[in-house]
Amino acid sequence: MPRWARWLRSPWFRQGWWPLVCGALPVDLAALDRGVLPRHTGTMKVLSVLVALLFLIACSPRGEFLMLADIPAEKQAEATTSGVREVVFVGTSRKEEDGIFGFGRSEQARFLRYDILVPFNRPLGEVSWPRSAKRADPKTDFLTLDGIGYDTAADFRGALRESMARRKQRDVVVYVHGFNNTMAESVYRVAQMHYDLKVPGIAVHYAWPSRGSPFGYVYDRDSALFGRDGLEQLLHEVALSGAQRIVIVAHSMGGALTMETLRQTAIRNDKLVLGHIGGVVLISPDLDVDLFRAQAHAMGRLPQPFLIFGNTKDSILNLSSKIAGAPDRLGNLSDLAQLGDLEVTYFDTAAYNQGAGHFNLGTSPALIQLLGGIANIDAAFRAEAASRVGLLPGVVLTVRNATGIILAPVEAAVD
């Protein structure tokens, strides 16, 4: 059997990505045993793009926590002036093994806090990883200043309450990561976004048990569903800590997890949590549109404001749509009419594409600068629809209850 055929039939490919593509690509696995290459043009085009994409992702180094105390002593002193400390409280359903929160699933939620050094000297929107402790540079690299684990949920609530009192800030932003993330990658990304976007409020992160592998799509999809109870508990603990308002920010597959959790919370009629949700932001949600509509209707009314940052040119979601045999995911929606009966505001960020365009809100320097001080945007969207038109550069569309904004480059808006 040719090497490429063995690769396509390998367990890690078939268990990770083959279930995602088997319904869309008419490839005869028996023919692969005989070394017969598929002749279908569409099949080979999608397959070749997928293979290239997976190898590019797989070859990228993965992020890990690196403590400031572990780098050379002469560099540690530089940390006091080279960056800013971002505190990230964490609730996780990842299983801890040998002191590391990996991709294993735990039915018992754990609560932690990480203090992350966000360096000043780096491109806006980027997380720069140190290659090793010896080569780490506090001037340019993200580092972990401290990590604390709480023995009980009550200890976590107490620490969160103390932080809110010290900062005189009772708004909490709960971030939910997406597909293919390690624990460290998601925590560092939260610190980067919270700082770069100048988000007010206390940063809290929900780390669900992603496998942290480009080949773990099916595992992650199941883990996102597994993580519903953990996210619901985290929201409950945050509400009990004395938070005045909770805003949820979720990326990619984390958007599907968030919607499932909110639906579950509404069905249980958890008034404590529902009464504290003060807004939801979905970034490039990897979520079927019909499923999203069903979830929203089951909730009765979506939390307000409800913002969706999508991208019609999102390469990842466009490929996912083709593979799934559906024209749109929620994150690359082309027809706002599908959301017309829902009270949502949809931003098309295609004009600010960064890389694959799957995380423009967190990685595009121009978009970050445009949306910096997101609290003002949130306040503006609580006002009447007529006041929204001049808020951001672009075209504003209204379809019944839904509002769509096709963001334009700032330069174009000036002209």
DSSP state letters, 205-228: EEE-----STT-HHHHHHHHHHTH
Contacts of residues 355-360 at CB distance under 8 Å and 24 or more positions apart, as own/partner, are 356/314, 356/315, 356/316, 357/311, 357/313, 357/314, 357/315, 357/316, 358/252, 358/284, 358/311, 358/314, 358/315, 358/316, 358/317, 358/331, 359/251, 359/252, 359/283, 359/284, 360/284, 360/309, 360/311
pLDDT confidence of residue 284? 87
- Summarize pLDDT for 257-309 with one digit per residue, the tens: 999 999 999 999 999 999 999 999 998 888 999 999 999 999 999 998 898 88
Q: Under a CB-based contact definition with an 8 Å cutoff, are residues 246 and 201 in contact?
A: no
- Summarize pLDDT for 34-79 with one digit per residue, the tens: 555 455 444 444 445 444 444 444 445 577 899 999 999 888 888 8
pLDDT confidence of residue 111? 98
Q: Under a CB-based contact definition with an 8 Å cutoff, are residues 204 and 90 in contact?
A: yes
pLDDT confidence of residue 206? 98
pLDDT confidence of residue 406? 72
Measure the CA dihedral 90/96/100/103, to 10°: -90
Q: What is the arithmetic mean of pLDDT over 395-399?
A: 65
Q: What is the arithmetic mean of pLDDT over 88-108?
A: 96
- Summarize pLDDT for 124-161 with one digit per residue, the tens: 888 888 888 888 999 999 999 999 999 999 999 999 99
- What is the C-alpha to C-alpha distance for residues 35 and 1, in angstroms, rounded to an integer? 6
Label the pairing between strands 143-150 and 394-399: unpaired
Residue 138 or 410, more confident: 138
Q: Is the pLDDT of residue 322 over 80?
A: no
- How many CB atoms neighbour CB 73 within 10 A? 7
Measure the CA dihedral 261/264/268/272, to 10°: 20
pLDDT confidence of residue 393? 54
Q: What is the arithmetic mean of pLDDT over 16-28?
A: 44
pLDDT confidence of residue 56? 44
Q: Is the pLDDT of residue 13 over 90?
A: no
Q: Is the pLDDT of residue 380 over 70?
A: no
User: Which range is most confident: 108-112, 365-369, 411-415?
Assistant: 108-112
Residue 391 or 230, more confident: 230
Say what the pTM is. 0.80
pLDDT confidence of residue 185? 94
Q: What is the arithmetic mean of pLDDT over 4-9?
A: 48
Lowest mean pLDDT among 81-90, 194-203, 330-339: 330-339
Is the domain covering 68-414 a CATH 3.40.50.1820 domain?
A: yes
Tally of residues, the chain: 415
pLDDT confidence of residue 386? 38
- Summarize pLDDT for 347-363 with one digit per residue, the tens: 887 766 665 556 556 55
pLDDT confidence of residue 59? 46
Q: What is the arithmetic mean of pLDDT over 385-394?
A: 47
Q: What is the arithmetic mean of pLDDT over 10-27?
A: 44
pLDDT confidence of residue 363? 56
Share of the chain above pLDDT 90, in %: 45
Q: What is the arithmetic mean of pLDDT over 246-262?
A: 95
Give the chain's mean pLDDT: 79
Domain ranges of the chain: 3-58, 68-414
Residue 161 or 377, more confident: 161
* Burial of 345 from C-beta contacts in 10 A (0-12 / 13-18 / 19+): buried
pLDDT confidence of residue 21? 43
